[in-house]
Structure 1
């Protein structure tokens, strides 16, 4: 069954969307969208370094995303405006990556595949990396769920419960790096943040508890991946942007439904 490239693409999209949907809830709750952008944009630099040194793209992207996540965590609370710092890091890393890619000798590189994803070329090894990495992200979040949730909702309550909110922030930034590494093949560096926040934002309208929001976000992400792949095949358009378009459509419907409920 895995010999069919469409089946592999669907499995890759669903695996990525599940991990991104769960992590995206914390990104939305903690207003970390800019953190996601900075980490995701660094992925292009990771691609360039991987091609330069002849290593795995996933390894290169993961290493640079991890370094960016640690840098963001280290600079947080150091006096510089967080928005300003993240803006500089996000766009600086993207620009440096784009310049570095063009300077690699003897290679013609399709940047679209890294900026917007190339899920149709997913291999069995890519599937193993995506589902393995996604499983680790989901397992860590569920294992640390109560501590992370407490630190997110009330840092003061977390301190009272002998929890460390800054440790929770570090875990989230490291998990963001992991999701970036596995998601670049599916939606690309420019759209990873959208896959994180849109399903979670859609789920927020209908969830009554954090746990339900997390489950609904993962379901919306998986639905967006399947429907986006189908839409891309029908219209002959790139899969990554199609997945995000479907997610945006679901968000629009959820926002409309929320507005109608308020009017009635």
Structure 2
């Protein structure tokens, strides 16, 4: 399973982990002190501040890429976060906020820790499941000249598989980012598998957008999406040289977010 409807599974995991940790903090048995803040609210604040700090550090580390497209700073779903910074800053703020509320320390910190463990365990389970049950599919695609190009031909080297359509606004916006990455990373294969459209539709788009892409393929029956359980576009899948799925990103990619994923794919 890659998503629940259009919502990617990693997002589902982090939301469930957050809800579980907030529920634990709220239900934790403890004596009530006068005018104490909400334990569940403190857990939520730890997450939000941690994500904010993690995002800020990631942007600073990839400032050159974000400078090329400043608007992409707002694309918070691109996966651009420094996880160590997020964890340390969230925990640090929690300790500081609890300095005057000793009765809340155990419940808030333990609940936050349980949330982090659930998130990590859920992410690991999804990663292993996808790597085992979502291999590079044996879909039969054709290139723009109508020649058969089975996806299995890309085994043997890391592959970025982009599922897209010309009617999809985010697909159109991210395509220049993917085109630039294809040129900058010749050691990684890129395949752009259009879902459900004709060669004419794709040619018109590529010409109007002045894009030069290699490995543009057509999947008229959307068999690739069906095989991978993808229900929303754009979807970008990162496979290792053995055809095992390493990561799935649903939604528009920024240059910095894509670069971060490509470094982990090598």
Same fold, TM-score > 0.5, yes or no? no
The TM-score with structure 1 as length reference comes to 0.26
* Higher fraction of strand: 2
Q: Which of the pair has the greater relative contact order for Cα pairs under 8 Å at 6+ separation?
A: 1
Larger relative helix fraction: 1
Q: Scaled by the length of structure 2, what TM-score is found?
A: 0.26
